[in-house]
Chain A
Amino acid sequence: MNNGPLLFLGIFASVATSFWMLLFAPQVQIGRQQASVIELTGERYPAVRSGAASQGAEVYRSLGCVECHSQQVRQTGANFELWLAEPGTNRPVLAATLVRLNLASAVEADKLLEKAPVKLRSALGSIEARMLAAQLTNDDAKAEAVLATLGPDIQRGWGKRLTVTQDYLGDYPVQIGNLRVGPDLANYGARSPGAGVILAHLYAPQKTMPGSMMPPYRFLFTTRRINQGEKPTLPLDVAPGYDVVPSPEAESLAAYLGSLRAETPLPEAPVPAPPTKAAPATNAPAATPAP
């Protein structure tokens, strides 16, 4: 350990090891990932952001929103739910099956059938759920094993599934964040109440959400006088006769926040799709050929 060049070679070897294992290997695995086309809809995912939204991403970066907001939904696991999608016409038989499979008591069974589509059981394994569904499905009754994603983030309504590498392909810089002083925003667009409320929240967070810890971004807005009877731009109770006008930065930031979505089903991150009532009703006429 007294030889300078040898020491240098050792240090170089450590640098090279780190390069191959920690920079090159992830590059091979995820660095070349491309936006894919979702077969079901034919749409590109992740979708290209609109001009306003990509300008808003710059405002988001510039204001350092990432210091308090993460953009990553985490999922602790998944299991299956048993749903009765359609009760069909032969209800007494179905009710008896429900009772036999211990899915409902004799009193409740009929009421459950009325409520369809209805969740019969949750926290099932994949095979268990499918076997139950198969036993309940007859000529026109239909039961389904439906995927359920688990985890506090999902229960808080921050997303329907975990976020995966594919979700971030259009982002620069990727801002997954490392502290949650504010709620996660990965899927904010899907639950956002609309640009007007987002802007009002940016202007006075404590007004739209009492108890919020978010700093107000009043510097993104200007105030102007308005005549009596004129409608204010934002749903805000500022002094009477005054109106708060969002700057272009605020508008684009709101557009960006509204564009944050991570709920497209992907092979590596499926989204729960419980049966809905509307679906069979709309499909029925299309199935019957016109006379």
Chain B
Amino acid sequence: MSIPSSTSASTPAEPAKVTGAEIDASCRWPLLLLFATAALWLAGSALFSLLVAIKLHKADILADCPWLTLGRLRPAVNNAFLYGFATPVAMGITLWLLCRLGRVKLAFQWPMLIVCKLWNIGVFVGIWAILAGGSTGFEWLEMPRYASGILFVAFVLFGLCAVGTFSMRRAGELYPSQWFLLGAIFWMAWSYSAANYLLVFEPVRGTFQSVINAWFTGNLINLWLAPVALAAIYYFLPLQIGQPLYSRELAAFAFWTTLFLGSFAGLSSLVGAPVPRWIGSAGTAGYLCLLAPLIANAMNWHLTSKGNCSAWKHDLVLRFLATGAVAYLALGLLNLVLSVSRVSAVTSLTYAVVAKNYLAWYGFVAMVLLGCVYAIVPRLTQVAWPSEKLIRVHFTCSALGAALIVLALLAGGVIQGFNLANPSVAFLDVVRKTIPFIGISTLGILLFLIGQVVFLLHLGQVLRACLQPFAQAICAECCGAPLKAGGKS
């Protein structure tokens, strides 16, 4: 993989030029630490979600261990994905993009290393607490206050590093990715702290809790993970294709509409719930309005890659990003359809909602973030990926697995919904009829897991190759003997 020297955004001449390699070197250790631990969390999350899927059709398995009961395992798996994998990778990508686009070296390397450790400690404590029974009971905010406090402090430190790096930028013109990244940082800090404050620290009364919870889950996807993924697509798509971004104005339109409407959309999960009707309707209207940025983004990407549409066939990074982009478009449409009250009357409270989450996580977010990891890690380590075949295996397993999970759960959810709406079908039969679909989704999760294990091992190889010289140098200094090749590094 070649190392690009500049982005497509035109920039005025700078007094002291920082090369891409210098920027990458400054980001190396914090980002590698973030990516490596995230890969571990991702594989762990996939492994345990396999167990969840198995438990959903064979309830007796490992039933005698309270730590592995279904009700604790499911939130643990979700949190491991969202906070263990997606958020740290998004943080790493944010830093790298802000450095690259601002033409500055990462100024806060030591604070960022502390952030990486603090964040991982927080996630570990939080998931441990969920498995031990300390869950708060709020979706995607299950971590108890002592864990979410650590995460918040770590995120604020990260935000200060990122905004500090941004403010030291040398490039005059801002690139669309930078808007998305800045918006995402502020939104995540705000919604995570506000939701935790209003739900856990100073709880509000009644179903207002559910409103805040829905607001937060929507924000976590629509205003933190999605904008970072969009920023990455806006950066890497023109870069990998070798053509400038089609329109900055379209991107600006997409940015502001996403920013202002994104938080409305999350409330659509309350259509039909015991809250005032307008709250669910505001969510549906939010998703309807989000069609505008969806179309703007799709047009922009399509016109940027025009004439070079087959690039994804040989460029593996682009293949991940393109799959993620397609999933992003599908997700926008699916969200809208599922939030229309007539459809929601059938599909809410069924596996269709789970399918929607998996499309957002595995289809959109994971695909884009993993594509970025494939693009960034060789630049950080100066080590190329050892095997293109392994990347292909990872891609195929992840994409096929995600597709299987989403389609199976969606079909199962719709059937479950129609059966639930028909009181002549006994409830036990409603559940029994979803089991074949759970079976197919289990297969999908297994495929996804295989992909992530391959990725983990592959990343391990790169890291070992990168760390070898350092380990040898340290060893030679201490004991005067060179480290054996293949030793623990």
Return B426 CB to nearest CB of chain A, in Å. 9
Q: How far is the CA of A72 from the CA of B344 in the complex (A)?
A: 15
Contact of A216 among B59, B167, B264 (CB under 8 A): B59
For the complex of A and B, 3 pairs with smallest distance between CB atoms: A64-B71, A155-B423, A173-B137
A64-B70, A152-B420, A176-B274 known; A23-B194 Cβ under 8 A: yes
A-chain residues with CB within 8 Å of residue B416 when the two chains form the complex: 180
B-chain residues with CB within 8 Å of residue A29 when the two chains form the complex: 276
Q: Mark A1-24, 1 if CB is under 8 A from B, else 0.
A: 110100110111011011101110
Return B315 CB to nearest CB of chain A, in Å. 29
Interface of B is mostly: helix
Contact of B259 among A14, A65, A177 (CB under 8 A): A14
How many A-B contacts are there with CB distance less than 8 Å? 194
Q: Mark A262-278, 1 if CB is under 8 A from B, else 0.
A: 00000000000000000
B-chain residues with CB within 8 Å of residue A18 when the two chains form the complex: 215, 263-264
Count residues of A near B (Cβ-Cβ below 8 Å): 70
Chain B residue at minimum C-beta to C-beta distance from A269: B274
Return A40 CB to nearest CB of chain B, in Å. 22
A7-B174, A152-B420 known; A22-B71 Cβ under 8 A: no
Q: How far is the CA of A201 from the CA of B263 in the complex (A)?
A: 41
A-chain residues with CB within 8 Å of residue B201 when the two chains form the complex: none
Beta-carbon contact of B427 and A156 below 8 Å: yes
A residues sitting closer than 8 Å to B (CB atoms) are 1-2, 4, 7-8, 10-12, 14-15, 17-19, 21-23, 26-27, 29-33, 61-68, 70, 72, 74, 76, 152, 155-156, 162-169, 171-183, 205, 209, 211-219
Beta-carbon contact of A74 and B272 below 8 Å: yes
Return B201 CB to nearest CB of chain A, in Å. 13
B-chain residues with CB within 8 Å of residue A63 when the two chains form the complex: 66, 69, 71-72, 133
A-chain residues with CB within 8 Å of residue B69 when the two chains form the complex: 63-64, 215, 217, 219
Beta-carbon contact of B137 and A180 below 8 Å: no
Beta-carbon contact of A165 and B207 below 8 Å: yes
Beta-carbon contact of A22 and B264 below 8 Å: yes
Q: How far is the CA of A180 from the CA of B167 in the complex (A)?
A: 48
B-chain residues with CB within 8 Å of residue A214 when the two chains form the complex: 59
Q: Mark B253-271, 1 if CB is under 8 A from A, else 0.
A: 0001001100110010100
A-chain residues with CB within 8 Å of residue B351 when the two chains form the complex: 179
Which of B117-125, B179-187, B381-389, B457-465 participates in binding chain A?
Answer: B179-187
Contact of A68 among B70, B133, B210, B427 (CB under 8 A): B70
Within 8 A of A (CB), among B164-201: 166-167, 172-174, 179, 182-183, 186-187, 190, 194, 198-199
A11-B259, A178-B348 known; A219-B174 Cβ under 8 A: no
A1-B179, A2-B173, A168-B274 known; A66-B71 Cβ under 8 A: yes
Beta-carbon contact of A64 and B209 below 8 Å: no
Asked whether any CB of chain A lies closer than 8 Å to the CB of B302, the reply is no
Contact of A4 among B70, B167, B274 (CB under 8 A): B167
Beta-carbon contact of A180 and B420 below 8 Å: yes
Return A240 CB to nearest CB of chain B, in Å. 22
Contact of A175 among B137, B172, B198 (CB under 8 A): B137
Within 8 A of A (CB), among B49-83: 55-57, 59-60, 63-66, 69-72, 74-75
Beta-carbon contact of A64 and B65 below 8 Å: no
The contact sample of 5 A-B pairs, CB cut-off 8 A, is A2-B174, A15-B190, A163-B274, A165-B274, A165-B275
Beta-carbon contact of A61 and B137 below 8 Å: yes
Return B173 CB to nearest CB of chain A, in Å. 5
Beta-carbon contact of A164 and B274 below 8 Å: yes
Beta-carbon contact of A33 and B205 below 8 Å: yes
Select the residue from A7, A22, A76, A179 with max chain B CB neighbours within 10 A.
A22
Within 8 A of A (CB), among B415-452: 416, 420-423, 427-428, 431-432
Beta-carbon contact of B279 and A26 below 8 Å: yes
Beta-carbon contact of A179 and B349 below 8 Å: yes
Chain B residue at minimum C-beta to C-beta distance from A215: B59
Extra contacts, 6 of them, besides A23-B212, A176-B207, A217-B69 (Cβ < 8 A), are: A1-B179, A63-B66, A64-B69, A64-B71, A67-B74, A215-B63
Q: How far is the CA of A162 from the CA of B277 in the complex (A)?
A: 13
A4-B167, A176-B274 known; A68-B209 Cβ under 8 A: no
